[in-house]
Amino acid sequence: MNRLRRYGNACAAAFLAALTLAGCSGYKPAPAAFHEAINQPYMLDAGDRVRITVFDQDELTNTYSVDQSGYIAFPLVGAVPARGRTVQQMESQIAAKLREGFLRNPDVSVEVDQYRSIFIMGEVGSAGQYAYSPGMTVQNAIAAAGGFSPRANQANADITRTINGRVLTGRVLISDPLLPGDTVFVRERLF
């Protein structure tokens, strides 16, 4: 009888270990680059909208969208690459192009008017595409998507983010900040 009890305990322990490993097999912690990206200057990409002001040139001052190819169409100079550039780099680039025969000493200012959207999927009230606002956390995004579903794992979420041209996925706490273009996936809890 004692031998049978030990066998039953061993089977139960093996079952619990297998269940634990199965639940953790998809776990992938956020790479260090996730947290480093939060402290880097913002890089423009498709879907962003920028407000470009050329002082004393009202006909050039306007809001421009970064197209799917990563360019903005700017009057006089044509397509200007924006993907992977900061707003300061865009200011210098546009000013340099305007100096090439259009304006003597252009004073250009660029600011982000609207950030690209974030996407929220999984166990939330209403999955979909949502507007990003500076300082947004995973929890804020989930609230915008109607909150957690009854089956949701509310401790953490998986984020897919493009960093330096590479698409990375990692698990973060719901208090972690988001970046424009992130995809949030809320998993289903095991029990």
Interior angle at CA 93, CA 91 and CA 98, nearest 5: 95
What is the per-residue pLDDT across 125-149, written as a single tens digit (0 to 9) for each? 999 999 999 999 999 999 999 999 9
Q: From 3.20.20.140, 3.30.1950.10, 3.40.50.10420, 1.20.1260.10, which CATH number describes the 49-114 domain?
A: 3.30.1950.10
Q: Where are the domains of the chain?
A: 26-40+116-186, 49-114
Give the pLDDT confidence score for residue 25 in this predicted structure: 45
**pLDDT on residue 3:** 52
User: What pLDDT shows up at residue 37?
Assistant: 84
Does this model's pTM top 0.95? no
Rg (CA), the chain: 24
> Would you say 94 and 71 are in contact if contact means Cβ atoms under 8 Å apart?
no
pLDDT of residue 42: 92
What confidence tier does 165 reach under pLDDT thresholds 50, 70, 90? confident
Average pLDDT, the chain: 87
CA pair distance 95, 90, nearest whole angstrom:
8
Please tell me the number of Cα atoms within 13 Å of 109 on its side-chain side: 8
The model's pLDDT over 4-49, given as tens digits with 9 standing for 90+, comes to: 454 444 444 444 444 444 444 455 677 787 778 888 899 999 999 9
Q: Supply 58's token pair.
A: 């009202």
Thinking of the domain 26-40+116-186, which architecture would CATH place it in?
Roll (3.10)
**Tokens, residue 91:** 């200011």
Residue 28 has a pLDDT of: 65
